[in-house]
Amino acid sequence: MSLAEIAAAVGGSVDGDPEVLVTGPAFVDSRAVEPSGLFVAIPGDRVDGHDYASGAVAGGAAGVLGSRPTGVPTVVVDDPVAALGRLSRHVVDRLPDLSLLALTGSQGKTGTKDYLAQVLSAAGPTVATAANLNNEIGVPLTVLRATVDTRFLVVEMGARGIGHIAYLCEIAPPLVASVLNVGTAHIGEFGSREAIAAAKGEILEALPEHGVAVINADDDFAALMDRRTRARVLRFGLAPGSDVTWSDVTYDDLDRASARFHIAGESHQVTLVQSGQHQLLNAAAAAALAVGVGLPADTIARALASATSLSRWRMELDELSDGTVVVNDAYNANPESMRAAISALLAISGKRAARSIAVLGVMKELGPESDADHRALGEHALASGVDVLLVVGDDAREIAEGAANITVGRGTAVCVADRAEALAWLRENIRSGDVVLVKASRAAGLERVAQELISSGRQPDHAEETQG
């Protein structure tokens, strides 16, 4: 599109040459220029994108979308973020052969999105949300990567309040959409699970009558959302009557599931390459979404069996030369995902007759129940059989306090002040063959601990019992 065409689509004006042609994607980071793309200059609290506009164009961008002239070809609008959304909708409307699939949920969005992107790619050119770019900026950036050749567009949608997903569906209207679950992530912003459910359900209300709603039959809130849509409903889970379900599950020593998946009336044996019991639900959700756009069951099953994680620091497993296993799941955390990760940790260590070490940090955005949720996590970790619970940071201390309530079993809890102390403790106390889980909310930055452990390779053996 030319800058003149973009200006017409978003209600702006062009400062500079209106015939400048944009052939690359939109982007917001001037350090990662998209060749011939559109740099979106967004004013922030600490930096103003307009200050980097000329550098982005010098680096290869075609032009700029901003709220004032920048000295280089610019579409000038009142609000660049709102204009980005309008441009997103304009592009979707220009791609009538595109099937747009959207998903939301309190956890599992990115994992399911990664499965789905690989399943759909087996049937045609697919564009999917990168990382977790799922807000009013990330969603249009994803949409604006689609071209006339794109057959499937997978959009992850997040929300921090009522109306957020409804807006995202206006700028990226789905044909098939799913509510994966309603948990407690971001409950600090919403105030209750009921409010979270109200917000998540907006994605189903946005579906057209000829669309497909994909619902988690095992989630107490999501299971009731069929009343919020005119679309056809597909269900996934273990509840009776689910359209996509699984049975006959076994696990290997890295907690990778093998199961018989029942997809739209057909049964196929599938062995997943990603670890954790929760991967079965993620895979089933992706399968149901793929059924919604008409993919055959055998194509779905084959793609699930080879699907890997496309996103960093989500159940990444590395086995060191001495047999130590490091599970880097440090991208984000909430009570539900913490429990799922601990389950995987214990499954792997149990199969290997190895010691389990859970390196846990703070869970953010839990609201007034934060302290109680952290204490409950500590209790759960030791009661479930974790051998060593390493709690990182003062803001996570309630995890250790909860662990102190567990007086049975052999597990122990250790508190350290920060990442450096956590890494020092691990290097001193880890033994060959241990299984180490590293997990916290993104703000804690615990992925660095996992990366340092992995990069340092084999750790010294320690025969003595862990102190703490």
* Residue 170 neighbours by CB under 8 Å, 6+ apart: 85, 89, 206
- Residue 48 near residue 120, CB atoms below 8 Å: no
Gap between the Cα atoms of 178 and 200, Å rounded: 9
Gap between the Cα atoms of 335 and 349, Å rounded: 21
SS (H, E, C) the chain: CEHHHHHHHHCCEEECCCCCECCCCEECCCCCCCCCCEEECCECCCCEHHHHHHHHHHCCCCEEEECCCCCCCEEECCCHHHHHHHHHHHHHHCCCCCEEEEEECCCCHHHHHHHHHHHHHCCCCEEECCCCCCCCCHHHHHHCCCCCCCCEEEEECCCCCCCHHHHHHHHCCCCEEEECCCCCCCHHHHCCHHHHHHHHCHHHHCCCCCCEEEEECCCCCHHHHHHHCCCEEEEECCCCCCCEEEEEEEECCCCEEEEEEEECCEEEEEEEEEECCHHHHHHHHHHHHHHHCCCCHHHHHHHHHHCCCCCCCCCEEEECCCCCEEEECCCCCCHHHHHHHHHHHHHHHHHCCCCEEEEECCCCCCHHHHHHHHHHHHHHHHHHCCCEEEEECHHHHHHHHHHCCCCCCCCEEEEECCHHHHHHHHHHHCCCCCEEEEECCHHHCCHHHHHHHHHCCCCCCCCCCCCC
- Residue 212 near residue 179, CB atoms below 8 Å: no
Gap between the Cα atoms of 340 and 320, Å rounded: 23
Q: What is the CA radius of gyration of the chain?
A: 24
Gap between the Cα atoms of 401 and 375, Å rounded: 6
Q: What is the pLDDT along the chain (468 residues), one digit of tens a residue?
A: 999 999 999 999 999 999 999 999 999 999 999 999 999 999 988 999 999 999 999 999 999 999 999 999 999 999 999 999 999 999 999 998 999 999 999 889 999 999 999 999 999 999 999 977 999 999 999 999 999 999 999 999 998 899 999 999 999 999 999 999 998 777 777 889 899 999 999 999 999 999 999 999 999 999 999 999 999 999 999 999 999 999 999 999 999 999 999 999 999 999 999 999 999 999 999 999 999 999 999 999 999 999 998 888 889 999 999 999 999 999 989 999 999 999 999 999 999 999 999 999 999 989 888 999 999 999 999 999 999 999 999 999 999 999 999 988 889 999 999 999 999 999 999 999 999 999 999 999 999 999 999 998 644 444 344 433
pTM of the model: 0.87
Domains of the chain and any CATH numbers: 3-77 (3.40.1390.10), 95-306 (3.40.1190.10), 316-455 (3.90.190.20)
- Residue 129 near residue 144, CB atoms below 8 Å: no
